[in-house]
Structure 1
Amino acid sequence: MIRSCFPLAPFSVAALMVLSSPSALADRVHLEDGSRIEGELQRLHEKALAVETAFAGTISIAQDQIAGLNSDGFLMISLASGDRIMGRLAYDPQTGQRLLSETLGNLPLDLDKVSAIWPEDQPTPERLVIQEIEERERHNLAEAQKQHEEEQKALAEALVTPDKAWSGRTQLGLSGASGNTDRAALNGKATARRETSFDRLDLSLGWRFARENGQETENEVIGDARLERDFSKRWFAFGSIMLEQDEFEDLDLRSVVTLGSGYFFIQENDHELKARLGLGYQLEAFQTSPTEEEAILSLGYDYKIQLNGRLLFTHNFTYLPSLSDPVNDFRVQSDAALDIPVTDNKAWSVKIGLRNQYDNRPVLGNEKLDTFYTVSLGYNFQ
């Protein structure tokens, strides 16, 4: 309904004929500072006018900076009173802002009382705002759905065991002497690792054998297995078993079974440090001494670092005290090694190793500390 507050003036036929010409006028914004902006009026809503320009795209102009508007086409004008009129806008600094309506004629128009303007073939500004909000919500929902699908895909991939999970190494070292002393020594080790995104299985078997002047002087075999399974990004649980036989330490069999948990302090592809703590059971069967069984504590760490992209340094340390007498009855194991590739594909490498075994209560006649040096050539497989 059009209220009587609009004074009716004689309709200007000449003005409408001019405005009806396709090239008569372009949409134009006259600013309070005297400058003009030409473009296409998009809408006026919430005290801001959107104008599509050829030089800067869509720009926004505050309503209180606008002196007048010219439009080339019909627009819907919504007044603060609630009335709506369709017509064209015409502005002249002498006559002020006018609204040219086919039904109401040539009317003066106070822009301060205009609440909204939009092209006749488009939804109202309020509806456009709702559409924009709905579009943003659909976009946000689509992004959230996409992120969820990516997370589910990553989780599914993490639960799939890689096809090539196994890697390992075989190595062999020889040494000898002849003349005043005839000596031949052999040491070797085979390791294998099966690794997935959430667990690691390490297996190893090592041996040392030596003869001097026709007499056997060394004969030791050590087997080790350890399984680690992650239950968070840095925490993991582990279980291990170690079997050892050493003829020249009077040891028929030493078996150590351990369960515990560990934590990654450094977890990178070329740099890793993890600590572990667990409880275990140890059985030692000797050739000439009684068999011993006891509960033990296992505390240690595993460290590795890739140097210069080729050299690999590793150090494994384990402290094994008896729970019944941890001060006077304990063992310490330390293994350090430097792996030096000798081929470009790193398949063949030389490993220099240093191993220390300390037993605070050795069998009578044995030393507390055993130190072994090894240099071996090995083949690495993936």
Structure 2
Amino acid sequence: MLPSAFKASKRTPAPAPGAAGAAAQTPEIRSRGTVPVRCATPGPLRRPAPPKPRPARPQRAGTGPRETSRLRSSAPIRSRSSSSSASRSPFLDGLVEHIRTCYIRQQKNRGKTVEPGPVRACFTSFGSVGDSGSSSRGGVSMIRLLIFLLGLALALPALADQIVLKNGDKLTGQIISSDAATLTLKTEYAGDIKIKRDSIASIAADAPLNVQMADKTVVATVAPAAEPEKVVIQAPGAEAVTAPLAEVAAFRNDPSQRAYERELERNLHPRLNDFWQGFVSFSVAGASGNAETATYSTSLAASRAAGKNKMALYFNQVYATQSTQQPFGATANRLSGGYRLDRDVSRRMFVFATTDFDYDQFLDLDLRSVVGGGLGFKVWKSNRGFLDVGSGGVFNREKFGSGLIRKAGELLINEELGLKVNSRLKLSQRMSLYPNLSDTGQYRLNLDTGASMPIFGWLEWNIGFSSRYLSNPPPGLKSNDLLYTTGIRLSFDQTKIR
């Protein structure tokens, strides 16, 4: 059964040969679902049969024919090519290109070869937004791109420095600083990690570091070399240098480099108020009721080590009273203080000069003055503490309340220990023995010990013990005076790198 349009064309007579031009101007009649039919002569034409109606699409809830027609009429019709070119975002294209560049650079720093062609195709396939013929599909493409970028950011490892050990282990984080022995790596999973330099096989840094060589310090990127235990140091505007890890003195980031330069300046040109450390302690005790007593004690110790010089000073005071029974008044009243200066002559040897002063009301000692010096030796020194010993000679002058004045030359044997038992407990001890050379067989012994524990920050709890022994006291007086105190103290330390 032929369509009606074909029937009409069969009844239409063929045009005459001279009517070719007129036939060319004959209008075409197109109908949906039919082929074009050319009319040779004007006149009424039979209307082609209407197409069969298509089944109606189910409408979404809340939309009617009017709303649907309005939406269709208002939506602009764009071709696929024009929509793609018009909706590309330069910002997103630049973002994708930046992520691709960072990915390639990171893989190169890790020693991996990356083919730029496939990587570029992978990233640029998501670079165009709205590659569709409608705004709704363009929004879907935008969402897909954002989801892709978010997944890419989560999937790719964060740009970080990488340390490869000789046993094959890999550690990632941020290089803080290093010296000839250790390297400090800051990580999110374990905090600061100290790694032995001799166990490192390669180093890769995403950000420039301050690299200290034997003769200079440069700001450069660091990447592993093809040869084992070597790094490639690339400074801006200079040729890349391949150097063994053992020849690099230090790696530092910018904050660590600034702190190192400040510390270097302090060591080369120290000021008088630099490098002091010590404490000031206070102690109070009292009683009331059947017994009326009060005790006050104060102690101070400070030392400063700068270059080859070290100076130290100390002061101790105790005063106690009672008003329980006659005679009322003081039951203890003693003051002591001193100053000492050391100068290194070698890595372990040093010379020292010392002076000490003492007052003790109940020993009837108005003033004891001791001046002398000697030679010392550093037996042990580390981050946990020190042990020094020394020997020399002093001159001792003692004046008593009775008017007695004694002068004598004495031999000096001293020892000093400082020990950090753990992160919370610190011990200190100092002993000085003075054998009398003018009156052989007589001697003096001074002993001071203490322990402290931090409460918080610069506030510490401490306990102290002090002994002053004199083998030949004035008649009627005891040889030994003991003092023990406990209280709080304020500590300070300027030796740490700021």
TM-score, normalization by structure 1: 0.57
- After TM superposition, the structure 1 = structure 2 runs for residues 205-220 of structure 1, keeping only pairs within 5 Å, are 205-213=315-323, 214-220=328-334
State the shift of 1:220 in Å. Answer: 1.0
Q: Distance in 2 between the 1:210 and 1:265 partners?
A: 39
The amino acid of 1:373's aligned partner reads: Y
The amino acid of 1:245's aligned partner reads: Y
Q: Distance in 1 between the 2:476 and 2:382 partners?
A: 45
Name 1:124's counterpart in structure 2.
Answer: none
Q: Distance in 2 between the 1:186 and 1:156 partners?
A: 42
Question: Which one has a larger percent strand, Structure 1 or Structure 2?
Answer: 1
* SS in structure 1 of the partner of residue 362 of structure 2: helix
Name 1:321's counterpart in structure 2.
Answer: 435
Q: Which has the larger radius of gyration?
A: 2
State the shift of 1:191 in Å. Answer: 2.1
Does residue 330 in structure 1 map to residue 443 in structure 2? yes
Instruction: Please point out which of 332, 335, 343 is paired with 1:229.
Output: 343
Does residue 247 in structure 1 map to residue 361 in structure 2? yes
Instruction: Please point out which of 250, 270, 281 is paired with 1:161.
Output: 270
Gaps of 5+ in 1: 1-142, 147-152
The amino acid of 2:306's aligned partner reads: T
1:96-128 residue CA offsets vs partner (Å, 9 max, x unmatched): xxxxxxxxxxxxxxxxxxxxxxxxxxxxxxxxx
Name 2:312's counterpart in structure 1.
Answer: 202
1:223-263 residue CA offsets vs partner (Å, 9 max, x unmatched): 11001111100101100110111111101100101110100
Q: Distance in 1 between the 2:393 and 2:284 partners?
A: 37
List structure 1 segments (4+ residues) > 2 angstroms apart after TM superposition: 153-164
Question: Which one has a larger percent helix, Structure 1 or Structure 2?
Answer: 2
CA RMSD of aligned residues (A): 2.5
Name 1:298's counterpart in structure 2.
Answer: 412
Q: Distance in 1 between the 2:439 and 2:303 partners?
A: 35
Gaps of 5+ in 2: 1-245, 250-260, 494-498
The amino acid of 1:241's aligned partner reads: T
- Identity rate of aligned residues, in percent? 27
* SS in structure 2 of the partner of residue 342 of structure 1: strand
Name 2:285's counterpart in structure 1.
Answer: 175
Name 1:86's counterpart in structure 2.
Answer: none
State the shift of 1:179 in Å. Answer: 2.0
State the shift of 1:158 in Å. Answer: 5.4
8 Å contact from structure 2 (residues 408, 439) kept in 1: no
Instruction: Please point out which of 262, 272, 284 is paired with 2:376.
Output: 262
Does residue 274 in structure 1 map to residue 388 in structure 2? yes
Name 2:491's counterpart in structure 1.
Answer: 380
Between 1:367-376 and 1:189-198, the stretch displaced more is 189-198
Name 2:453's counterpart in structure 1.
Answer: 340
Name 1:25's counterpart in structure 2.
Answer: none
Q: Distance in 2 between the 1:309 and 1:202 partners?
A: 24
Q: Distance in 1 between the 2:264 and 2:318 partners?
A: 45
TM-score, normalization by structure 2: 0.44
Name 2:296's counterpart in structure 1.
Answer: 186
* SS in structure 1 of the partner of residue 270 of structure 2: coil
1:78-100 residue CA offsets vs partner (Å, 9 max, x unmatched): xxxxxxxxxxxxxxxxxxxxxxx
- After TM superposition, the structure 1 = structure 2 runs for residues 41-56 of structure 1, keeping only pairs within 5 Å, are none
1:241-293 residue CA offsets vs partner (Å, 9 max, x unmatched): 10111111101100101110100110112121110101110000100141111
Name 1:112's counterpart in structure 2.
Answer: none
1:294-322 residue CA offsets vs partner (Å, 9 max, x unmatched): 11111010011101122110110110111
Higher relative contact order (CA 8 A, sep 6+): 1
Q: Distance in 1 between the 2:309 and 2:461 partners?
A: 28
The amino acid of 2:317's aligned partner reads: W
